[in-house]
Structure 1
Amino acid sequence: MDRLGQQLKFTPFDRVLVSLIAIFVLIKLALMTQTGLLDDEAYYWVWGHRPQLAYFDHPALGAWFIGVTRLIFGEGILGARMSALISFAGTSYLLWLFAHRMRPEAPLRAFLVAEIVLLASPTFFAWTTIVYFDHLLILLCLAAIYNYGRYLDAPQDGEANISALYWAAFYLGLAALTKYSALFVGLGFALAILLTPAYWSRLLRPHLYLAALLALVMQAPTLIWNMQNDFASFSFHLYDRHSGPWWQSYAAHYFIRYFLYTFILFSPFLALSLFRVRLIRTENQFTRTLAWLLLFVGGTTMAFLLSMVMTVSSHWYWTDLAYLGLIVLAPVLMGSGWLLWAHISLGLVAAILVTINYSILPLAALFGVHDVETGKTFGWDQVVRTVEAAEDQYRADFIGTSRFKTVAQLNYHAKRQDIYELSPQPSQFDFWQDLNALAGQNGLVLHDEQANIEKLTGQFEQIQLVDEIIIERYGYPIYRYQLYFGTNYQPQED
């Protein structure tokens, strides 16, 4: 008991960190509850209403999770986003487990540093708040890495050691049921085994292979769905979304933009902490083993993504598993000096600005910049009123949109599931809706300014603009929709 009291003893520095963590959590709750769903979040919210083995864009676990929280917490913002808050709590607990093994004599300080570094990274702050499936990917990959670390740290295959291996495989299997990028954790672990002679004796025993088989068998829902749908999801990620193979051509500006985005939005100070990696050598065996494993996980992730971003435009957050290792090792790499405080300061400013940006006014509007990504989260009460009034006035047989994410947002805010996605862009809606059933009917089309209405006009005998919806905040126009009425709809042939 005395030892536990010593481990949990708060110093003035610890109290400052706790206060800062509380501030970040309060901002997180404000962002979670006071801002509208992003279009991707609304898209996944629709998935939560329609559970199936997998989906066109992702495996199914994240959508199942949303479905459960929706049933428990209702159809509002809490039901839509509560899964991210639960994942954040689980991630925090795992950071405590890491801290307890990395710094067994002073785990509290190590945990507080890792927690504040997680919250102060702009991307990780967002990913543990909004319902992109990365919140669950982070939680499950951390659980897998923690147990892989326990397995590698043990000198031989003892009972507890083997248990950790199978738990790691189980969590990895769940992570891969969330996003395909979980594969990098498995590849990183395999490379750590293959390139470390001290681990080669384990290759002679069956457990590594049985654990890998467990993770693979758990992918049955994704594999079955793809087999039933001509491998549509695999084809989309490897080929279709890139307008061809991602390895086909080279574009330097893609690489430069990707590098700058990751450096800034994960935090430049988090990236700079990597230059302090030499400090790992003075840590205990578990920390050194963990750092070795994270080197392969992060290196595999970066090697693949950097090769891809040289040829196609990619999202910066696809690198989150590489930066995740720096969060785990933050108690060593960040320490308590200027690097930590610079990181916290940047993160606090970013968290406040993001919350203002999405709950009050898109800040870009103050500088005359049209921020479509933020603007489309505002004004949906106005959009729903206008669409429903026009539906009654024109006696429309159906309502459609010119962009698949607009369908999702209209579904969420109108609390209905009978909106159609009419654009030729492939999406999950293509597997649910039968546009041929609408042939000959008259419909309203909500046109999003990010879409191309010209691709839809030929599908109606006549189509006319009936209303324009200008979304404003404090006198600033921030987004625009157009509402069309079309007669005698005829879906295009695939």
Structure 2
Amino acid sequence: MQKTPNYKLYFWIVTLALAAAKVIFTFRPEIDLFTEEAQYWLWSENLAWHYYSKPPMVAYLNWIGTSIFGTTEIGVRFFAIAFGLGSAWVTFTFGSYLYSDKVGFWSALILQAMPFWWLISTFHTTDTSVAFFWALMAFWLYRGIKEDKKRWWALAGLAGALGLMSKAVMLLAFPFLIFYLFQRKQLGKKWTKLLLFSGLMALGFIPVLVWNFQNDFMTFRHLSQLAGGGESSNSDFSFGQKLVQFFEYLGGQLAMISIFFIPLLFGSLKNVLKFRSQEKFYLILPAILTFGGFAVLSFGTEVIVNWPIFAYMGLPIVMASWVEEQSKSWHKIRNWGIVIGIGLPLILVLPDFTFLKSIEGVKKGEKAVFRRMSGYQPLADRLNHLQDSLQIQEPFYFSETYHMASELSFYLEGNPQTHMLNMGARRNQFDLWPGMEQFLGQERTGIFVSWNYDSPGEFASFQRLIYEEKFPVTFRGLPLRIATIQVYQNLTEFDPYVPETY
């Protein structure tokens, strides 16, 4: 008698191994924080109800992570790795609940072979937590609908509240759920449980309302601007440009799911539409509604590739369950998609255990991928050295981008609060914090650092320039970028660019 495979054990072996690989990646000395990660870490140094563009969850998680592990990359990325593992676990559990442990196992492997999962489970951004809480909410909601128990509706509401504190797109749970119940003709029967779910989820909106009420509803203005509203919308935007923008959006979404899974994706979607399976329709509905909504939006504004990805969490289960009903040739397509989808990222994130990453072309490719997360530690080390050698007491550091300013705050000794000199950028969180105006006429030393500009220009004037240099940084021996470093004495004029849009 053949022994039944222990798919739960297999799941944990693979998932924990991938988590370990990400921990190893985090300790690679040539890889620094992604610039958005650095920004969200700096938010955690300035805890608030909410922030200019995002809810507070990412800052709270960073505060917890760095409280445990210190101000380190692992402190920032701990929750990315943990929530990535959690998302895989929810996928395995949901697939097992609907079908079998075998389907759950393959669902989790397909998820972990998708590029978007690698992004949200390696780098700690707002997508990390919203994807996890969406998956958890969707699982508990389905149990609530099927088992008709208030407990699951309540738990789903709490997961939704935490998701809403992660990212505003969590609000799409309401049209998704209402539409699903309506087409099943259960909206009237479930309205009391729907109210329970909605009331608990709405708790996550309290921080948004409190902060925005205190800050002239800046987040709402910002989101409206991103959606193509407001004064910045371009009425002369041609249809051809809109079409290009749409196809860029479409290509980006297929890439996030993985081009290797496109046959499985279309085969399983066709199956759902043909046989009208309610549980599979439940799983694909968030993806369809969200993808369609952002597709329409892409004709009016640029849609960032990561915006819809949280809604794709149910697709691996649909794909895995469909493949199990197909011939062995489809199993091979699935298996190769998983091998490539996991193998390529592993080669990229792990240190050079083999000779492959020492090949010049591969090394250049890796440099291009990690360009935005390299060079900040060496740059900060150089600035620390200059501060000592020039005997500068309590300087303030500033740059023209929040990216550089945030990275410097993380990597400089003592983690000082840095500043952004707006030289033409849109509004951001730095506009709401005390700025460089506080240093006017105070004989303080200001250190300007930039990848892009040779000086602060007309936006800030100082009594004198003490020192300047061009500092080159490398990636594994290859030239990467050159930073301008200028040390000034006594800020005399401060006239930053004031953006009119949000």
**What TM-score range do you get, normalising by the shorter chain?**
0.7 to 0.9
CA–CA distance in structure 1, aligned partners of residues 433 and 410 of structure 2: 17
- Find the partner of 1:64 among 39, 60, 63: 60
CA–CA distance in structure 2, aligned partners of residues 213 and 276 of structure 1: 38
**Offset at 1:122?**
1.7
**Offset at 1:339?**
2.6
Moved more, 364-373 or 482-491: 364-373
CA–CA distance in structure 1, aligned partners of residues 194 and 8 of structure 2: 40
- Find the partner of 2:292 among 293, 297, 303: 303
The 8 Å contact of residues 301 and 321 in structure 1, kept in 2 or not, is answered as no
CA–CA distance in structure 2, aligned partners of residues 291 and 247 of structure 1: 40
Residues 307 and 454 of structure 1: is their aligned pair in 2 closer, same or farther, counting only changes over 3 Å?
farther
Moved more, 69-78 or 389-398: 389-398
CA–CA distance in structure 2, aligned partners of residues 223 and 273 of structure 1: 42
Alignment of 1:73-92 (within 5 A): 73-92=69-88
Tell me the residue number matched to 2:25.
Answer: 31
Moved more, 132-141 or 432-441: 432-441
Alignment of 1:38-437 (within 5 A): 38-103=34-99, 106-107=100-101, 109-154=102-147, 158=148, 160=149, 162-197=150-185, 199-202=186-189, 205-239=191-225, 244=231, 249=237, 251-277=242-268, 279=271, 288-335=277-324, 337-355=331-349, 374-392=370-388, 393=390, 395=392, 397-414=395-412, 415-424=414-423, 425=425, 426-437=427-438
Give the letter aligned to residue 478 of structure 1: L
Give the letter aligned to residue 379 of structure 1: G
Residues 191 and 178 of structure 1: is their aligned pair in 2 closer, same or farther, counting only changes over 3 Å?
same
Residues 355 and 312 of structure 1: is their aligned pair in 2 closer, same or farther, counting only changes over 3 Å?
same
Residues 58 and 362 of structure 1: is their aligned pair in 2 closer, same or farther, counting only changes over 3 Å?
farther
Residues 208 and 23 of structure 1: is their aligned pair in 2 closer, same or farther, counting only changes over 3 Å?
closer
Moved more, 338-347 or 24-33: 24-33
**Offset at 1:294?**
2.9
Residues 266 and 446 of structure 1: is their aligned pair in 2 closer, same or farther, counting only changes over 3 Å?
farther
- Find the partner of 1:10 among 1, 5, 8: 5
Q: Counterpart of 1:483 in 2: which secondary structure?
A: strand
Moved more, 259-268 or 225-234: 259-268
**Offset at 1:238?**
1.6
Q: Counterpart of 1:206 in 2: which secondary structure?
A: helix
Give the letter aligned to residue 40 of structure 2: Y
The 8 Å contact of residues 398 and 418 in structure 2, kept in 1 or not, is answered as yes
CA–CA distance in structure 1, aligned partners of residues 273 and 468 of structure 2: 69
Give the letter aligned to residue 202 of structure 1: K
**Offset at 1:192?**
1.1
CA–CA distance in structure 1, aligned partners of residues 74 and 391 of structure 2: 35
CA–CA distance in structure 1, aligned partners of residues 463 and 345 of structure 2: 48
CA–CA distance in structure 2, aligned partners of residues 364 and 446 of structure 1: 34
Tell me the residue number matched to 1:3.
Answer: none
Give the letter aligned to residue 265 of structure 2: L
CA–CA distance in structure 2, aligned partners of residues 468 and 72 of structure 1: 37
Moved more, 40-49 or 335-344: 335-344
Cα deviation, 1:277-331, whole Å, max 9, x if unaligned, reads: 3555999x9xx43322233311221122111222322221212133222123232
Gaps of 5+ in 2: 325-329
**Offset at 1:373?**
6.5
The 8 Å contact of residues 272 and 280 in structure 2, kept in 1 or not, is answered as yes
Moved more, 404-413 or 267-276: 267-276
CA–CA distance in structure 2, aligned partners of residues 290 and 462 of structure 1: 69
Cα deviation, 1:449-490, whole Å, max 9, x if unaligned, reads: 2x4566644321467571111111344211221112344432
Cα deviation, 1:145-174, whole Å, max 9, x if unaligned, reads: 0112112224xxx4x2x2222221221121
Residues 245 and 166 of structure 1: is their aligned pair in 2 closer, same or farther, counting only changes over 3 Å?
farther
Q: Counterpart of 1:471 in 2: which secondary structure?
A: strand
Give the letter aligned to residue 36 of structure 1: D
Q: Counterpart of 2:373 in 1: which secondary structure?
A: coil
CA–CA distance in structure 2, aligned partners of residues 119 and 18 of structure 1: 12
The 8 Å contact of residues 403 and 447 in structure 1, kept in 2 or not, is answered as no
Residues 216 and 474 of structure 1: is their aligned pair in 2 closer, same or farther, counting only changes over 3 Å?
closer
Moved more, 240-249 or 216-225: 240-249
The 8 Å contact of residues 114 and 327 in structure 1, kept in 2 or not, is answered as yes
**Offset at 1:433?**
1.9
Residues 50 and 247 of structure 1: is their aligned pair in 2 closer, same or farther, counting only changes over 3 Å?
same
The 8 Å contact of residues 365 and 476 in structure 1, kept in 2 or not, is answered as no
Q: Counterpart of 2:181 in 1: which secondary structure?
A: helix
Residues 141 and 126 of structure 1: is their aligned pair in 2 closer, same or farther, counting only changes over 3 Å?
same
Q: Counterpart of 1:51 in 2: which secondary structure?
A: coil
**Offset at 1:144?**
0.8
The 8 Å contact of residues 103 and 317 in structure 2, kept in 1 or not, is answered as no
Residues 136 and 368 of structure 1: is their aligned pair in 2 closer, same or farther, counting only changes over 3 Å?
closer
CA RMSD of aligned residues (A): 3.4
**Offset at 1:188?**
0.8
Give the letter aligned to residue 177 of structure 2: F
Give the letter aligned to residue 5 of structure 2: F
Q: Counterpart of 1:236 in 2: which secondary structure?
A: helix
Give the letter aligned to residue 169 of structure 1: G
**Offset at 1:406?**
0.9
Compute the TM-score of the two structures, normalised by the length of structure 2.
Answer: 0.83
**Offset at 1:143?**
1.0
CA–CA distance in structure 2, aligned partners of residues 300 and 145 of structure 1: 14
Residues 97 and 357 of structure 1: is their aligned pair in 2 closer, same or farther, counting only changes over 3 Å?
same
CA–CA distance in structure 1, aligned partners of residues 56 and 460 of structure 2: 33
The 8 Å contact of residues 114 and 341 in structure 2, kept in 1 or not, is answered as yes
Q: Counterpart of 1:485 in 2: which secondary structure?
A: strand
Q: Counterpart of 2:301 in 1: which secondary structure?
A: coil
CA–CA distance in structure 2, aligned partners of residues 202 and 247 of structure 1: 46
CA–CA distance in structure 2, aligned partners of residues 281 and 234 of structure 1: 36
Tell me the residue number matched to 2:327.
Answer: none
**Offset at 1:334?**
4.1
CA–CA distance in structure 2, aligned partners of residues 358 and 444 of structure 1: 40
CA–CA distance in structure 2, aligned partners of residues 71 and 122 of structure 1: 30
Q: Counterpart of 1:478 in 2: which secondary structure?
A: strand
Q: Counterpart of 2:382 in 1: which secondary structure?
A: helix
Q: Counterpart of 1:311 in 2: which secondary structure?
A: coil
